[in-house]
Amino acid sequence: MENFPGGQRLEARAEQMIALFGSSAVGVATGSVDRVLEANDEMLRIFGRTRDDLAAGLSWMDAGRPADAERDAAAFEHLRQDGSTVVVKELLRPDGVGVPTLAVLVATGRGPLRWVAVVVDLSGDERLKHLAWSEAAIVSTLLEDAPVGFAFIGTDLRFVRVNRELAAMNGFTVAEHDGAHVFDLLPDLREGAEPLLRSVLAGGEPIRDAEIVGSTPAEPGVVHTWLESFFPVRTGDGPVLGVAAIARDVSRVRALQDELAATTLRLSRALHEMQDTLQPTVLPSAAGYTVTIRHLPADSEVGLGGDWYDVTRTAHGQLVASIGDVVGHGVEAIGAMARASSALRAYVHEGHSPDHALAHLDRLLGATREAMATAAVVSVSVEDGLVRYARAGHPYPLVLSPDGAVCTLRDARGPMLGALPDATYNPAEVVLEPGQTLLLHTDGLVERRGEDPATSARRLADALTEGASLGVEALADLVLERCVEPGLRRDDACLLVVRRDLV
């Protein structure tokens, strides 16, 4: 476009749009979301509708075949995200006649989505050829000010039309592209782009958002990344007569994504290290008992949770094990976990029973309103195996017998810590017989998204039964192997095992 002053530029663009609407060669329409608001005579002819139909309400989506609804929805999603899209679409007239068209839609606003479309009737081969070698200029004119590169490429892989954005990307003038072989101008892109172009020409199927990496004469030696989409231009049953290509330079976006990923990785490692330092590194021993722990932190900083565990010996000879899970993820959850676990350890060392220790921690969290958490505390009398335990909304403790039987300890009850004022925690007792194993765990060990909790519980019980004859270390490894979902861990997983050894 010529360099007009601001007001004259707007006036010139308005004149161009008026001229485009008056064209009898192409259909032109404007719309909001999927509704067609305005259409020129050629557009109405292609639609097979009247102006009364337009006034009554006309949907772009309803103008196509039902089988194409998903593809039309995808095209509008690309329009929302990218600001423009090219669609080969068969419009269905009320009389049932289908009209193959090539449509270029450009977003003019996004709140709600508003757009303008240029549509060409591809009903006859001659008309399509006319589009390919002449009227493609109208399409490139429409995209002239769009922030994407556009080209129409013939079957011989020569440029027919390009817009100024693509010309700038390639480092040549628009005129220098005319009739030139694509890879004579851009040899560094041949390896990535030529197979895609030939695939579209041969198969007639579009390729969207292919990543092309290389350099152009615009910046020799500087590697760029482009997202490119290729669309066949053809009649419904006729051969492909060319390819419409749209390119976006995403080099800066990719660089920022790589930088963000590296920063996130460093942060995640630092948080994992901090989380590890807050957990006990040495577990106390007691004659006749074997204790082990497994803790798998989440795989990402976003999922890094507030799971904690602790095992300690009291002055009265009790072996006390606790486990908990602060609600939430990330830095805040880790900080709250550190404070909650430290406070609980202090209450235990002061001689408080499991239920009283939880009650004290509940009042502390409720007073500060800092966090909510689940927890379980068990106190094992080393001499006779008497277990006193209490729960605060946490998964039930389990007892595994040498014969593989699994018992769920359901008698102790109490609400989540910090959730209700003046909460009470009802303790319970059980005797851990020689050879039996007590297990505490957090929900990250068993829960899977979309799975019934009963299914998760059965998986854990089956794993324990399978490993009943194993030592505690091998048992813990087996439980993790059977229960932790492969792939990305979205939450911490913690397992604490206490076995009363056979005499």
Residue 66: which CATH number? 3.30.450.20
Of 121, 138, 163, the last residue of a domain is 121
Closest to 321 (Cα-Cα) out of 462, 454, 472, 484: 472
368 occurs within a structural domain: yes
How far, in whole angstroms, is CA 138 from its chain's centroid?
Answer: 38
Token pair for 440:
């505490």
Q: Hey, which of 16-25, 261-270, 458-467 has the most confident mean pLDDT?
A: 458-467
**Tokens 């330092």 map to which residue?**
277
CA 140, CA 135: separation in Å to the nearest integer?
A: 9
Q: How many domains does the chain have?
A: 2
Token pair for 71:
């593809």
166 occurs within a structural domain: no
- The mean-pLDDT minimum among 27-41, 128-142, 150-164, 335-349 falls in 128-142
The b/e string for 149-177 (b: 16+ C-beta within 10 A; e otherwise) is bbbbbbeebbbbbbbbbbbbbbebebeeb
pLDDT in tens, 174-194: 889 989 999 999 999 999 999
DSSP assigned state of 181: B
Q: Name beta bridge partners: 386.
A: 431
Is 302 or 180 the better-scoring residue by pLDDT? Answer: 180
127 occurs within a structural domain: no
CA 333, CA 330: separation in Å to the nearest integer?
A: 6
DSSP assigned state of 60: T
Give the pLDDT score at 464.
95
Is 14 or 189 the better-scoring residue by pLDDT? Answer: 189
Q: In what order do the strands lie in the sheet with 428-431?
A: 305-313, 318-329, 373-381, 386-392, 428-431
User: Does pLDDT of 132 surpass 60?
Assistant: no
User: Does pLDDT of 436 surpass 90?
Assistant: yes
Give the pLDDT score at 420.
85
User: Does pLDDT of 264 surpass 90?
Assistant: no
21 occurs within a structural domain: yes
Which pLDDT band holds residue 10 (cuts at 50, 70, 90)?
low
Q: Name beta bridge partners: 120.
A: 102
CA 66, CA 449: separation in Å to the nearest integer?
A: 34
Give the pLDDT score at 302.
45
The total number of residues shown for the chain amounts to 503
Closest to 287 (Cα-Cα) out of 319, 323, 320, 322: 319
Give the pLDDT score at 309.
85
- The mean-pLDDT minimum among 202-206, 418-422, 463-467 falls in 418-422
Q: What are phi and psi of 348, to 5 degrees?
A: -65, -45
User: Residue 393's CB: how many other CB atoms inside 10 A?
Assistant: 20
CA 135, CA 423: separation in Å to the nearest integer?
A: 77
Of 83, 105, 121, the last residue of a domain is 121
Mean of pLDDT over the chain: 83
Of 121, 137, 159, the last residue of a domain is 121
7 occurs within a structural domain: yes
Which pLDDT band holds residue 397 (cuts at 50, 70, 90)?
very high
75 occurs within a structural domain: yes
Give the pLDDT score at 7.
55
CATH of the domain at 401: 3.60.40.10
Residue range 294-319: mean pLDDT, rounded: 74
Q: Name beta bridge partners: 494.
A: 295
Which pLDDT band holds residue 301 (cuts at 50, 70, 90)?
very low
Domain that holds residue 114: 1-121
User: Does pLDDT of 262 surpass 80?
Assistant: no
Q: What SS3 state is found at 242?
A: strand
Give the pLDDT score at 266.
66
232 occurs within a structural domain: no
Cβ contacts of 123-132, under 8 Å, gap ≥ 24: 123/99, 123/235, 124/235, 125/235, 125/238, 128/233, 128/234, 128/235, 128/238, 128/241, 129/241, 131/102, 131/233, 132/160, 132/233, 132/241, 132/242
User: Does pLDDT of 315 surpass 60?
Assistant: yes
483 occurs within a structural domain: yes
